[in-house]
Chain A
Amino acid sequence: MGSRLFVLAGGLGAGVSVGLIARTRPEPVLYVLLVFAAAIVALLQQTLP
């Protein structure tokens, strides 16, 4: 349940960000997406054996 909510929230947030980029192309949004990517990878790597 928790992971589904995480995916849903992440998907929605990323979808909105991509929409913003498509409309206005602001570089900061891209940087924020990069920071999110870094956070997601760091957390997902906790699942590695």
Chain B
Amino acid sequence: MLRNQAKSGWVRKSLVFSGSTLLAGLATGSAFGILGALVPQGARVAAGSLLGLLAVCIGGLELLNRGIELVQRDCETPQRWIQTGPYGWAVRNGLALGFGATSRLGFWLWYAIPLGAFFAASPAWGAVAYGTYGLLRGGAVWAIILWLDKVAPGGWSLWAVGRGFAARTVAATYLVILGSAVSIAVGL
């Protein structure tokens, strides 16, 4: 009985957390899409093609182990939020992580999300892209709680942190691919 209650508490908190990350992603993506639509298409195409080339350069340098230092607020979400209670923490942490920019980003590829939502100039596509980010950023907690923590040797956190180099390589490779695609589609 007690165990079931404890589990139900975690489920509710995780639902609030992942719902908040999704909400933050959807709202932010829509806002970027609306803002992008205010910019003339010619300016978006010109800036987009330049940013595509920049993405190829940054991703390429990262793959050559000459990565440029990431512009980010390199910190976790504030620990004082724990004092707002489990649900207060879940909402605040969820909104912050679903938005992303106010805490550690980790990868240049992250910038593709807000910039992509902006240059798409469509609230719907902005919401889909940023919402996907929010959904998976917060939704991953379910995979960790229900499955990954049990199958990963030494627990998920330990396993995941040890894969930092592989993660950077994947992110840099995708940045090059995305930058190439943007350059081909809008720049050439």
A positions within 8 Å CB-CB of B: 3, 6-7, 10-11, 14-15, 17-18, 21-22, 25, 27, 29-31, 33-49
Contact = CB atoms under 8 A, between A and B. Distances in A.
B184 interface: yes
Given A18-B181, A37-B178, A47 B113 contact: no
Interface residues of B, number: 43
B180 interface: yes
Q: Which 7 residue pairs are nearest across A and B when measured between Cβ atoms?
A: A42-B136, A38-B133, A34-B116, A14-B177, A42-B137, A47-B167, A47-B160
Contacts, number: 120
Contacts of B170: 3, 6-7, 10, 40, 44
B46 interface: no
Contact of B110 (A6, A25, A41): A41
B185 A25 contact: yes
B177 A15 contact: yes
B128 interface: yes
Contacts of B177: 11, 14-15, 18, 33
Contacts of B116: 34, 37-38
B113 A41 contact: yes
Chief secondary structure at chain B's binding surface: helix
A44 B94 CA distance: 17
Contacts of A41: 107, 109-110, 112-113, 133, 171
Contact of A21 (B163, B164, B167, B184): B184
A33 B109 contact: no
B109 A37 contact: yes
25 contacts: A7-B170, A14-B174, A14-B177, A22-B184, A27-B185, A31-B128, A33-B177, A34-B112, A34-B120, A34-B178, A36-B174, A37-B113, A37-B174, A37-B178, A38-B129, A41-B112, A41-B113, A42-B132, A42-B135, A42-B136, A42-B140, A45-B107, A45-B137, A48-B106, A48-B161
B173 A7 contact: yes
B125 interface: yes
